[in-house]
Amino acid sequence: MTDTTATATDAAAPAAVKLTNLLGLPRPAMEAFFESIGEKKFRATQVMKWIHQEGVDSFDEMTNLAKPLRERLKQVAEIRAPGIVYEGESKDGTRKWVLEVSDGSYVETVLIPSENGNRRTLCVSSQVGCSLDCSFCSTGKQGFERDLTAAEIIGQVWVATRGAEDRKDTRKRPVTNVVMMGMGEPLMNYDNVVPAMKLMLDDNAYGLSKRRVTLSTSGVVPKLDQLGDEMDVSLAISLHAANDELRNVLVPINRKWNIRALLDSCHRYLAKCDDARIVTIEYTLIKDVNDQIQHAEELAALLDELPCKINLIPFNPFPHSGYEKPSRNQVMRFQQRLYELGYTAPVRATRGDDIDAACGQLVGQVKDRTRRAERYINAIQLDAD
Protein backbone atom coordinates (compact mmCIF):
# COMPACT_ATOMS: atom_id res chain seq x y z
CA MET A 1 0.00 0.00 0.00
CA THR A 2 1.38 3.40 -0.98
CA ASP A 3 1.77 6.01 1.76
CA THR A 4 0.53 9.28 0.28
CA THR A 5 0.72 11.25 3.52
CA ALA A 6 4.38 12.26 3.17
CA THR A 7 3.90 13.15 -0.47
CA ALA A 8 0.91 15.36 0.29
CA THR A 9 2.76 17.03 3.16
CA ASP A 10 5.79 17.69 0.97
CA ALA A 11 3.62 19.16 -1.77
CA ALA A 12 1.92 21.47 0.72
CA ALA A 13 5.23 22.74 2.15
CA PRO A 14 6.06 26.25 0.94
CA ALA A 15 9.05 26.54 -1.35
CA ALA A 16 12.05 28.33 0.14
CA VAL A 17 12.12 32.00 -0.81
CA LYS A 18 15.20 32.96 -2.80
CA LEU A 19 16.60 36.11 -1.26
CA THR A 20 17.78 38.95 -3.49
CA ASN A 21 21.36 39.93 -2.67
CA LEU A 22 21.24 43.73 -2.61
CA LEU A 23 25.02 44.06 -2.47
CA GLY A 24 25.42 43.72 -6.24
CA LEU A 25 22.53 45.90 -7.43
CA PRO A 26 23.40 49.22 -9.11
CA ARG A 27 20.93 52.08 -8.70
CA PRO A 28 18.40 51.20 -11.49
CA ALA A 29 18.20 47.58 -10.34
CA MET A 30 17.91 48.64 -6.69
CA GLU A 31 15.09 51.05 -7.55
CA ALA A 32 13.30 48.31 -9.52
CA PHE A 33 13.65 45.97 -6.54
CA PHE A 34 11.98 48.42 -4.15
CA GLU A 35 9.19 49.13 -6.62
CA SER A 36 8.63 45.37 -6.91
CA ILE A 37 7.89 45.16 -3.18
CA GLY A 38 5.61 48.19 -3.23
CA GLU A 39 8.10 50.79 -1.96
CA LYS A 40 9.19 54.16 -3.35
CA LYS A 41 12.35 54.39 -5.46
CA PHE A 42 14.09 56.70 -2.98
CA ARG A 43 14.55 53.72 -0.65
CA ALA A 44 17.25 52.55 -3.08
CA THR A 45 19.45 55.55 -2.24
CA GLN A 46 18.99 55.03 1.50
CA VAL A 47 19.90 51.35 1.38
CA MET A 48 22.82 51.84 -1.02
CA LYS A 49 24.37 54.34 1.40
CA TRP A 50 23.95 51.94 4.31
CA ILE A 51 25.52 49.06 2.42
CA HIS A 52 28.39 50.72 0.58
CA GLN A 53 29.19 53.81 2.64
CA GLU A 54 28.47 52.49 6.13
CA GLY A 55 29.51 48.88 5.52
CA VAL A 56 26.25 47.56 6.97
CA ASP A 57 25.07 44.02 6.24
CA SER A 58 22.11 43.92 8.65
CA PHE A 59 18.75 45.54 7.94
CA ASP A 60 18.30 46.10 11.68
CA GLU A 61 21.07 48.73 11.56
CA MET A 62 19.29 50.80 8.90
CA THR A 63 17.71 53.16 11.42
CA ASN A 64 16.13 55.57 8.92
CA LEU A 65 13.94 52.75 7.58
CA ALA A 66 10.65 52.01 9.32
CA LYS A 67 10.68 48.79 11.32
CA PRO A 68 7.97 47.11 9.15
CA LEU A 69 10.12 47.73 6.07
CA ARG A 70 13.19 46.30 7.79
CA GLU A 71 11.21 43.20 8.69
CA ARG A 72 9.92 42.91 5.13
CA LEU A 73 13.46 43.19 3.75
CA LYS A 74 14.60 40.31 5.97
CA GLN A 75 12.00 38.12 4.26
CA VAL A 76 12.94 38.91 0.65
CA ALA A 77 16.53 40.20 0.60
CA GLU A 78 20.00 39.84 2.03
CA ILE A 79 23.37 41.61 1.99
CA ARG A 80 25.86 38.83 1.44
CA ALA A 81 29.53 39.49 0.71
CA PRO A 82 32.24 36.88 0.13
CA GLY A 83 33.62 35.42 3.35
CA ILE A 84 37.15 36.26 4.45
CA VAL A 85 39.35 33.13 4.56
CA TYR A 86 42.69 34.91 4.93
CA GLU A 87 43.90 38.47 5.35
CA GLY A 88 47.62 39.17 5.22
CA GLU A 89 49.88 42.20 5.03
CA SER A 90 53.18 42.37 3.18
CA LYS A 91 56.28 44.04 4.58
CA ASP A 92 55.70 46.82 2.00
CA GLY A 93 52.16 47.50 3.24
CA THR A 94 50.32 45.55 0.53
CA ARG A 95 47.29 43.71 1.90
CA LYS A 96 45.76 40.58 0.42
CA TRP A 97 42.40 38.98 1.11
CA VAL A 98 41.50 35.43 0.14
CA LEU A 99 37.71 35.37 -0.14
CA GLU A 100 35.33 32.43 -0.29
CA VAL A 101 32.52 32.80 -2.81
CA SER A 102 29.19 31.00 -2.91
CA ASP A 103 30.36 27.66 -4.31
CA GLY A 104 33.30 27.33 -1.91
CA SER A 105 35.95 28.52 -4.36
CA TYR A 106 38.50 31.13 -3.31
CA VAL A 107 39.38 34.35 -5.10
CA GLU A 108 41.95 36.96 -4.15
CA THR A 109 41.97 40.74 -3.99
CA VAL A 110 44.92 42.99 -3.19
CA LEU A 111 45.18 46.54 -1.79
CA ILE A 112 48.36 48.34 -2.82
CA PRO A 113 49.29 51.62 -1.09
CA SER A 114 51.48 54.16 -2.89
CA GLU A 115 54.77 55.08 -1.29
CA ASN A 116 53.46 58.50 -0.23
CA GLY A 117 50.28 56.96 1.18
CA ASN A 118 47.95 59.19 -0.85
CA ARG A 119 46.75 56.44 -3.20
CA ARG A 120 45.43 53.01 -2.22
CA THR A 121 44.69 50.85 -5.25
CA LEU A 122 42.51 47.76 -4.97
CA CYS A 123 43.14 45.01 -7.52
CA VAL A 124 39.81 43.23 -8.03
CA SER A 125 39.11 39.77 -9.48
CA SER A 126 36.32 39.13 -11.99
CA GLN A 127 36.38 35.33 -12.41
CA VAL A 128 37.12 32.19 -10.41
CA GLY A 129 40.36 31.36 -12.16
CA CYS A 130 40.76 32.73 -15.66
CA SER A 131 39.10 31.75 -18.90
CA LEU A 132 42.26 32.70 -20.83
CA ASP A 133 45.63 30.96 -20.67
CA CYS A 134 48.37 33.57 -20.94
CA SER A 135 51.63 31.66 -20.80
CA PHE A 136 53.39 33.97 -18.31
CA CYS A 137 50.57 34.17 -15.73
CA SER A 138 50.24 31.69 -12.86
CA THR A 139 46.57 32.66 -12.40
CA GLY A 140 45.79 31.26 -15.83
CA LYS A 141 47.53 27.95 -15.11
CA GLN A 142 45.00 27.01 -12.45
CA GLY A 143 42.20 26.87 -15.02
CA PHE A 144 38.72 28.33 -14.87
CA GLU A 145 35.51 27.57 -13.01
CA ARG A 146 32.99 30.39 -13.43
CA ASP A 147 32.30 34.09 -13.62
CA LEU A 148 31.91 36.03 -10.39
CA THR A 149 28.55 37.65 -9.76
CA ALA A 150 28.24 41.43 -9.49
CA ALA A 151 27.85 41.01 -5.70
CA GLU A 152 31.05 38.94 -5.53
CA ILE A 153 32.95 41.57 -7.52
CA ILE A 154 31.75 44.65 -5.61
CA GLY A 155 31.98 42.54 -2.44
CA GLN A 156 35.76 42.75 -2.75
CA VAL A 157 35.55 46.54 -2.55
CA TRP A 158 33.07 46.24 0.33
CA VAL A 159 35.42 43.97 2.28
CA ALA A 160 38.43 46.22 1.70
CA THR A 161 36.60 49.37 2.83
CA ARG A 162 34.42 47.98 5.62
CA GLY A 163 35.47 48.94 9.11
CA ALA A 164 37.93 51.60 8.01
CA GLU A 165 37.86 54.53 10.44
CA ASP A 166 38.25 57.19 7.75
CA ARG A 167 35.77 55.81 5.21
CA LYS A 168 33.78 59.09 5.06
CA ASP A 169 36.85 61.30 4.57
CA THR A 170 37.40 61.41 0.80
CA ARG A 171 41.00 62.49 1.39
CA LYS A 172 41.66 59.35 3.43
CA ARG A 173 39.54 56.79 1.66
CA PRO A 174 40.62 53.21 2.36
CA VAL A 175 40.33 52.61 -1.41
CA THR A 176 41.08 55.52 -3.75
CA ASN A 177 41.49 53.55 -6.99
CA VAL A 178 40.17 50.26 -8.34
CA VAL A 179 41.81 48.22 -11.10
CA MET A 180 40.05 45.25 -12.66
CA MET A 181 43.33 43.38 -12.94
CA GLY A 182 42.89 40.48 -10.53
CA MET A 183 41.94 36.93 -11.37
CA GLY A 184 40.11 36.62 -14.67
CA GLU A 185 39.43 38.53 -17.89
CA PRO A 186 36.86 41.23 -17.02
CA LEU A 187 35.34 41.53 -20.49
CA MET A 188 34.59 37.80 -20.54
CA ASN A 189 32.28 38.53 -17.58
CA TYR A 190 30.82 41.73 -18.99
CA ASP A 191 27.29 41.39 -17.59
CA ASN A 192 28.56 41.28 -13.99
CA VAL A 193 31.61 43.53 -14.24
CA VAL A 194 29.75 46.55 -15.64
CA PRO A 195 27.10 46.70 -12.85
CA ALA A 196 29.89 46.36 -10.27
CA MET A 197 31.86 49.22 -11.84
CA LYS A 198 28.72 51.36 -11.93
CA LEU A 199 28.49 50.91 -8.16
CA MET A 200 32.13 51.94 -7.81
CA LEU A 201 31.29 55.18 -9.62
CA ASP A 202 27.93 55.92 -7.97
CA ASP A 203 28.03 58.82 -5.50
CA ASN A 204 25.67 56.92 -3.21
CA ALA A 205 28.03 53.93 -3.15
CA TYR A 206 31.81 54.44 -3.49
CA GLY A 207 31.85 57.66 -5.52
CA LEU A 208 35.08 56.97 -7.39
CA SER A 209 36.05 59.03 -10.42
CA LYS A 210 35.92 57.27 -13.79
CA ARG A 211 39.63 58.07 -14.07
CA ARG A 212 40.23 56.09 -10.88
CA VAL A 213 38.48 52.92 -12.03
CA THR A 214 40.50 50.98 -14.60
CA LEU A 215 39.47 47.95 -16.60
CA SER A 216 42.30 45.80 -17.93
CA THR A 217 41.67 43.51 -20.88
CA SER A 218 43.71 41.14 -23.00
CA GLY A 219 41.60 42.10 -25.99
CA VAL A 220 37.98 40.93 -26.17
CA VAL A 221 37.28 43.36 -28.98
CA PRO A 222 33.45 43.11 -29.34
CA LYS A 223 32.97 43.63 -25.59
CA LEU A 224 35.44 46.51 -25.55
CA ASP A 225 33.37 48.21 -28.24
CA GLN A 226 30.23 47.55 -26.18
CA LEU A 227 31.86 48.96 -23.05
CA GLY A 228 32.61 52.21 -24.86
CA ASP A 229 28.90 52.60 -25.61
CA GLU A 230 27.98 52.18 -21.94
CA MET A 231 30.68 53.85 -19.83
CA ASP A 232 34.13 55.38 -20.08
CA VAL A 233 36.28 54.14 -17.22
CA SER A 234 40.05 54.15 -17.69
CA LEU A 235 41.38 51.47 -20.00
CA ALA A 236 44.45 49.25 -19.74
CA ILE A 237 45.54 46.79 -22.42
CA SER A 238 47.53 43.66 -21.60
CA LEU A 239 49.69 43.74 -24.71
CA HIS A 240 53.07 42.15 -23.81
CA ALA A 241 54.23 41.83 -27.41
CA ALA A 242 54.42 44.09 -30.44
CA ASN A 243 53.84 41.49 -33.15
CA ASP A 244 51.18 38.84 -33.65
CA GLU A 245 53.59 35.92 -33.86
CA LEU A 246 54.92 36.47 -30.34
CA ARG A 247 51.62 37.63 -28.87
CA ASN A 248 49.90 34.48 -30.14
CA VAL A 249 52.22 32.56 -27.79
CA LEU A 250 52.06 34.88 -24.79
CA VAL A 251 48.39 35.91 -25.03
CA PRO A 252 46.48 33.22 -26.98
CA ILE A 253 43.32 35.31 -27.37
CA ASN A 254 45.35 37.25 -29.94
CA ARG A 255 44.66 34.43 -32.38
CA LYS A 256 41.00 35.49 -32.37
CA TRP A 257 41.44 39.28 -32.20
CA ASN A 258 44.90 40.31 -33.34
CA ILE A 259 46.88 43.38 -32.38
CA ARG A 260 45.54 45.54 -35.20
CA ALA A 261 41.92 44.72 -34.30
CA LEU A 262 42.64 45.46 -30.65
CA LEU A 263 44.32 48.81 -31.28
CA ASP A 264 41.54 49.86 -33.65
CA SER A 265 39.07 49.10 -30.86
CA CYS A 266 41.15 51.23 -28.46
CA HIS A 267 40.89 54.17 -30.87
CA ARG A 268 37.12 53.72 -31.03
CA TYR A 269 36.92 53.60 -27.23
CA LEU A 270 38.90 56.82 -26.81
CA ALA A 271 36.75 58.56 -29.41
CA LYS A 272 33.67 57.87 -27.25
CA CYS A 273 35.19 59.39 -24.09
CA ASP A 274 34.01 62.89 -23.27
CA ASP A 275 37.47 64.08 -22.21
CA ALA A 276 41.09 63.71 -23.24
CA ARG A 277 42.13 60.20 -22.30
CA ILE A 278 45.05 57.85 -22.82
CA VAL A 279 45.31 54.07 -22.73
CA THR A 280 47.68 52.29 -20.38
CA ILE A 281 49.67 49.60 -22.18
CA GLU A 282 50.77 46.76 -19.89
CA TYR A 283 53.95 45.09 -21.02
CA THR A 284 55.44 42.24 -18.99
CA LEU A 285 59.18 42.00 -19.59
CA ILE A 286 60.37 38.39 -19.89
CA LYS A 287 64.07 37.59 -20.16
CA ASP A 288 65.17 36.88 -23.75
CA VAL A 289 61.55 36.73 -24.93
CA ASN A 290 60.36 40.33 -25.36
CA ASP A 291 62.91 42.44 -23.49
CA GLN A 292 65.45 43.32 -26.17
CA ILE A 293 66.06 46.79 -27.65
CA GLN A 294 64.52 45.78 -30.96
CA HIS A 295 61.37 44.82 -29.07
CA ALA A 296 61.24 48.32 -27.53
CA GLU A 297 61.62 49.89 -30.96
CA GLU A 298 58.95 47.65 -32.44
CA LEU A 299 56.61 48.53 -29.57
CA ALA A 300 57.20 52.25 -30.05
CA ALA A 301 56.47 52.04 -33.76
CA LEU A 302 53.30 50.01 -33.15
CA LEU A 303 51.87 52.54 -30.68
CA ASP A 304 52.86 55.63 -32.63
CA GLU A 305 49.30 56.85 -33.23
CA LEU A 306 47.69 55.71 -29.95
CA PRO A 307 47.60 58.17 -27.01
CA CYS A 308 49.12 55.99 -24.33
CA LYS A 309 51.65 55.37 -21.63
CA ILE A 310 53.46 52.06 -21.19
CA ASN A 311 53.67 50.26 -17.85
CA LEU A 312 56.69 47.96 -17.81
CA ILE A 313 56.20 44.95 -15.52
CA PRO A 314 59.22 42.72 -14.82
CA PHE A 315 58.02 39.11 -14.95
CA ASN A 316 57.13 37.64 -11.55
CA PRO A 317 58.46 34.04 -11.61
CA PHE A 318 56.35 31.05 -10.64
CA PRO A 319 57.31 27.35 -10.63
CA HIS A 320 57.80 25.63 -13.99
CA SER A 321 56.74 28.63 -16.06
CA GLY A 322 59.80 28.28 -18.28
CA TYR A 323 60.31 32.05 -18.12
CA GLU A 324 62.77 34.19 -16.20
CA LYS A 325 62.81 37.73 -14.87
CA PRO A 326 65.12 40.07 -16.84
CA SER A 327 67.99 41.77 -15.08
CA ARG A 328 67.47 45.24 -13.68
CA ASN A 329 69.99 46.60 -16.20
CA GLN A 330 68.06 45.09 -19.10
CA VAL A 331 64.80 46.58 -17.81
CA MET A 332 66.48 49.99 -17.54
CA ARG A 333 67.88 49.73 -21.09
CA PHE A 334 64.41 48.85 -22.43
CA GLN A 335 62.87 51.74 -20.53
CA GLN A 336 65.54 54.19 -21.65
CA ARG A 337 64.99 53.31 -25.30
CA LEU A 338 61.26 53.97 -24.95
CA TYR A 339 62.03 57.32 -23.31
CA GLU A 340 64.31 58.20 -26.22
CA LEU A 341 61.45 57.40 -28.59
CA GLY A 342 59.11 59.75 -26.73
CA TYR A 343 57.14 57.42 -24.45
CA THR A 344 56.30 57.59 -20.76
CA ALA A 345 57.28 54.14 -19.53
CA PRO A 346 57.40 53.70 -15.75
CA VAL A 347 58.54 50.36 -14.33
CA ARG A 348 55.92 48.91 -12.03
CA ALA A 349 57.51 48.05 -8.72
CA THR A 350 56.91 44.49 -7.55
CA ARG A 351 54.63 44.74 -4.53
CA GLY A 352 53.44 42.07 -2.13
CA ASP A 353 55.49 39.23 -3.57
CA ASP A 354 56.25 37.94 -0.04
CA ILE A 355 52.53 37.12 0.32
CA ASP A 356 52.09 36.02 -3.32
CA ALA A 357 50.18 39.20 -4.13
CA ALA A 358 52.29 40.44 -7.03
CA CYS A 359 51.08 40.79 -10.61
CA GLY A 360 50.36 37.36 -12.11
CA GLN A 361 50.64 35.57 -8.76
CA LEU A 362 46.99 35.50 -7.68
CA VAL A 363 45.81 31.91 -7.66
CA GLY A 364 42.97 31.44 -5.18
CA GLN A 365 41.40 27.97 -5.15
CA VAL A 366 39.59 26.85 -8.27
CA LYS A 367 37.55 23.75 -9.04
CA ASP A 368 38.90 23.76 -12.57
CA ARG A 369 36.22 22.67 -15.02
CA THR A 370 38.54 23.25 -17.99
CA ARG A 371 41.09 20.63 -16.78
CA ARG A 372 43.79 23.14 -17.70
CA ALA A 373 45.42 22.86 -14.27
CA GLU A 374 45.55 19.07 -14.65
CA ARG A 375 47.22 19.35 -18.06
CA TYR A 376 49.71 21.88 -16.71
CA ILE A 377 50.67 19.61 -13.79
CA ASN A 378 51.03 16.62 -16.12
CA ALA A 379 53.30 18.63 -18.41
CA ILE A 380 55.47 19.59 -15.43
CA GLN A 381 55.76 15.94 -14.41
CA LEU A 382 56.74 14.92 -17.94
CA ASP A 383 59.45 17.57 -17.99
CA ALA A 384 60.73 16.34 -14.63
CA ASP A 385 60.93 12.76 -15.95
List residues with catalytic annotation.
108, 359
Q: 250 a known binding residue?
A: no
Sign of CA dihedral 335, 339, 342, 347: positive
**Is residue 51 exposed (0-12), middle (13-18) or buried (19+ Cβ within 10 Å)?**
buried
- The count of other CB atoms within 10 Å of the CB of residue 205 is 22
Contact by Cβ (8 Å): 300, 343:
yes
Which H or E run contains 375? helix 372-384
- Residues 6+ away with beta carbon under 8 Å from 232: 210, 269, 272, 273, 274, 277
CA 43 to chain centre: 29
Dihedral of CA atoms 222, 315, 131, 104 in degrees, nearest 10, equals -130
Report the DSSP beta bridge partners of residue 123: 110, 179
Q: 308 a known binding residue?
A: no
Q: 238 a known binding residue?
A: yes
Q: 239 a known binding residue?
A: yes
Q: 216 a known binding residue?
A: yes
Q: 93 a known binding residue?
A: no
Residue ranges at the known binding site? 130, 134, 137, 184-185, 216, 238-240, 316
Residue ranges at the known binding site for [4Fe-4S] cluster? 130, 134, 137
Residue ranges at the known binding site for S-adenosyl-L-methionine? 184-185, 216, 238-240, 316
